[in-house]
């Protein structure tokens, strides 16, 4: 196979690449680090709005599921419900054990 598209300036020997890599990493790590800070007041402004949106969409989804069950379009699986209840109980028990 013959390659005609490469220019001499694009080909770098492997040894040169390995030698340049540590120098590049050292330069990158010694540069200034960016910091982001958020005050408590700024964060608390967005939390209630997000909770309101989440509650509204959840209520709408719950109503859709209730209507689907009533219309016979959705059949909840007792096995899945039981598994989810047990899973949530296990998670709650583990969290309580961690905090005690």
Structural domain for 59, as ranges: 44-99
Q: Is residue 26 part of a domain?
A: no
Tokens 């219309």 locate to 71
CA distance 45 to 39: 10
Q: Is residue 28 part of a domain?
A: no
Q: Is residue 67 part of a domain?
A: yes
CA distances (Å), 27 to each of 13, 15, 48, 88, 96, in order? 22, 19, 43, 48, 47
Q: Is residue 56 part of a domain?
A: yes
Q: Is residue 37 part of a domain?
A: no
Q: What pLDDT is recorded for position 9? A: 52
CA distance 17 to 23: 10
Can you tell me the mean pLDDT for 27-31? Answer: 58
pTM of the predicted model, to two decimals?
A: 0.38
Q: Is residue 70 part of a domain?
A: yes
CA distance 46 to 41: 9
Number of separate domains in the chain: 1
Rg value, the chain, Cα: 29
Residue predicted with more confidence, 3 or 55: 55
pLDDT at 26 over 60: no
CB within 8 A of 74, min separation 6: which ones? 65, 68
Can you tell me the mean pLDDT for 29-33? Answer: 66
CA distance 78 to 84: 10
Can you tell me the mean pLDDT for 49-56? Answer: 81
């Amino acid at each position: 196979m013959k390659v005609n598209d490469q220019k001499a300036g694009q080909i770098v020997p492997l040894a040169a690449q390995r030698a340049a890599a540590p120098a590049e990493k050292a330069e990158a790590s010694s540069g200034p680090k960016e910091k982001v800070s958020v005050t408590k007041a700024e964060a608390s402004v967005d939390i209630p709005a997000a909770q309101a949106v989440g509650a509204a969409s959840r209520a709408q989804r719950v109503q859709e599921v209730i209507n689907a069950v009533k219309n016979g379009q959705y059949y909840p699986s007792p096995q899945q419900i039981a598994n989810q209840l047990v899973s949530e109980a296990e998670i709650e028990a583990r969290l309580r054990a961690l905090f005690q």
